Structure 1
Amino acid sequence: MTEILILYYSRFEATAAMAELIAHGVESVEGASARLRTVPPVSTVCEAVADDIPASGPPYAERDDLLACDGLALGSPTRFGNMAAPLKYFLDGTSDLWMSGALAGRPAAAFTSTASLHGGQEATLLTMMLPLLHHGMFLVGLPYTEETLRSTTTGGTPYGPSHYAGADSDRPVDEDEARLCRALGHRLTEAALQLARGRR
């Protein structure tokens, strides 16, 4: 069974909705499963400690989730053209995996959601790719053979799926954005399968 880890942070559920759609794309490939994981918020109060289990949604990610995956989809809302601090904090704790090369040679992708249409979607996706490159992962994007990239008027980039959530973060993922999320999940899984065949 090929397992794709979909690791994300979501504040207003838009990125979580995208993660679910990417999981559908992963599981559209025979013999593949998606593992959804999130990260806790980062507090400005030093004494604040998050519960070990989130109140809702998937469990918090652990180091072993990364070790076990055959591919990784990384998702975050945009924060000034960059990933949100909670996801960056989690990634900053993976230096032992970087040192050992544990993730090298596996495929990875990124996805994001923004409150404004031109709120740094592509910059966020590109900055999310930097730690993936440092880990030696192969980046997977969305080629223009995905026709939806030519027609979408909201989210969607060749660097990965994106979503325009609106100023109040209440705009649902539209059909174009959903199609691109599913396409990325499918494409990432196919890449993982091909790489696994090449290692045999």
Structure 2
Amino acid sequence: MQEILVLYYSHRGSVRALAEVIGRGIDSVPGAAARLRTVPRISAVCEAIEADIPERGAPYAEMSDLEECIGLALGSPTRFGNMSAPMKYFLDGTAGPWLSGALAGKPACVFTSSASQHGGQESTLLSMMTPLLHHGMLIVGLPFSEADLTGTTSGGSPYGATHVAGKDENTRLTEEEKRLAFAMGKRLAETALKLAPQ
């Protein structure tokens, strides 16, 4: 079984909900399994301020998770059109895998959630792609052959799966958002298995 890392930061649960559906999409592909991991919140001085083990959800990511998996789904809430500070802090610490080329040639996709429809989702997705391109990863998006991409009135983008949480930060994904997240996980897994060393 080949594992694909689903790495996310979620403050109120929306990104975690997307991560879980993406994981189910990965698990639907024979020979692939999702490995869910998260990153801790950080303080204003950029030090981890969470317990060593999360109270709920996925365990915290380690560099070995990046190196061992054959693909990566990366998720973060939208923060003023950019990824969240905890995810940026984690990615800034990936010089080791960058120097060794551990991620080069592996496929990756990105996903996000925002409180508002025009909250900067696509610029957030693009901001998460930049460090992945520096690692030499191959970006996998959502093609318009996914019918929900043209019919959704909530989340969804060719750049990656998204969710519009609303002002109450509702974590309930719409049916279109679920189908798009599942499709993205499945597409990432199929691509990763084709590219993985035999």
When normalised by structure 1's length, the TM-score is 0.96
CA distance in 1, matches of 2:160, 2:47: 37
- Residue 83 of structure 2 aligns to a residue whose secondary structure is coil
Cα drift, residue 170 of structure 1? 1.5
Query: Could you say which residue in structure 1 is the equivalent of 2:80?
Result: 80
Which residue of the partner structure matches residue 4 of structure 1? 4
The one-letter code sitting in structure 1 at the alignment partner of 2:138 is F
SS at match of 1:161: strand
- What's 2:54 paired with? 54
Of 44-53 and 81-90, deviating more is 44-53
Superposition pairs for residues 35-114 of structure 1, below 5 Å? 35-44=35-44, 49-114=49-114
The list of structure 1 runs, each at least 4 consecutive aligned residues, that deviate by more than 2 angstroms after superposition, is 44-50
Q: Distance in 2 between matches of 1:116 and 1:134?
A: 30
CA contact (8 A) 2:41 2:48 kept: no
Once the two structures are TM-superposed, the CA of residue 61 in structure 1 deviates from its matched residue by 0.4
Q: Partner letter of residue 109 of structure 1? A: C
> Following the alignment from structure 1 to structure 2, what is the Cα–Cα distance between the partners of residues 105 and 141?
16
Identify if the C-alpha distance between structure 1 residues 42 and 49 changes in structure 2 by more than 3 Å, giving closer, same or farther: closer
The answer on whether the counterparts of 2:3 and 2:70 sit within 8 Å (CA) in structure 1 is yes
Query: Are the structure 2 counterparts of residues 69 and 171 from structure 1 closer, same or farther at C-alpha, using a change threshold of 3 Å?
Result: closer
1:29 equivalent in structure 2: 29
Q: Note the C-alpha offset of 1:56.
A: 0.7
Give CA-to-partner distance per residue, 1:103-126, whole Å, 9 cap, x none. Answer: 000000000000000100100001
Query: What residue is the counterpart of 1:131 in the other structure?
Result: 131
Unaligned runs of 5+ in 2: none
Aligned pairs for 1:111-126 within 5 A: 111-126=111-126
The match for 2:151 is 151
Q: Does 1:167 align with 2:170?
A: no
- Per the normalisation by structure 2, the TM-score is 0.97
- What secondary structure does 1:20 align onto? helix
